[in-house]
Amino acid sequence: MSYTDKQITCSDCGTAFTFSAGEQESFASRGYTNEPKRCPICRAARKQNTPGSSSYGSGGSGNSNYSSAPRQMFSVKCATCGKDAQVPFEPRAGRPVYCSDCYRKTNPTKRY
């Protein structure tokens, strides 16, 4: 298919921007069916200010429950080998906690 440059008006700031033939071809190769509504400047600003925006525009969910902040880790002793380990959850009393090596051995089908 042959593409030609298109002029589109940004839905946020109202300025006209060019949706180039190369960008159209790139969009089509990724399976995108809609043209962009925002100019590159507004798109970048929205992407930077939207929580969970790491997947914005890439077919992801854009889920705002995800954060780039470091995850809180808890220090534990592995219930099997006794090695010190870090886990991303607060251990509960009476429940065994494993280091990553022992966990893989006890749950070989789980992937993480």
pLDDT tens string 46-78: 888 866 544 444 444 455 566 677 888 889 999
Residue 109 clears pLDDT 90, i.e. is over it: no
Q: Give the pLDDT of residue 59.
A: 47
Segment 40-46 shows an average pLDDT of 89
Tens digit of pLDDT for each residue in 93-102?
Answer: 889 999 888 8
Q: Where are the beta strands (DSSP E) in 3-112?
A: 6-9, 16-19, 74-77, 84-87
Of residues 45 and 61, more confidently modeled: 45
Full-model pTM: 0.43
CA dist 14 and 75 (Å) reads 52
Of residues 55 and 80, more confidently modeled: 80
Of residues 106 and 89, more confidently modeled: 89
* Contact in structure between 68 and 54 (CB atoms under 8 Å): yes
Average pLDDT, the chain: 82
* Contact in structure between 57 and 44 (CB atoms under 8 Å): no
Among the listed residues 98, 66, 102, the one whose alpha carbon sits nearest the alpha carbon of residue 79: 98
Q: Give the pLDDT of residue 55.
A: 46
CA angle, corner 97, sides to 71 and 103, nearest 5?
A: 90
Instruction: List all residues 6 or more positions away from 54 whose beta carbon is below 8 Å from its beta carbon.
Output: 60, 66, 68
- Identify the band that residue 18 occupies on the pLDDT scale cut at 50, 70 and 90: very high
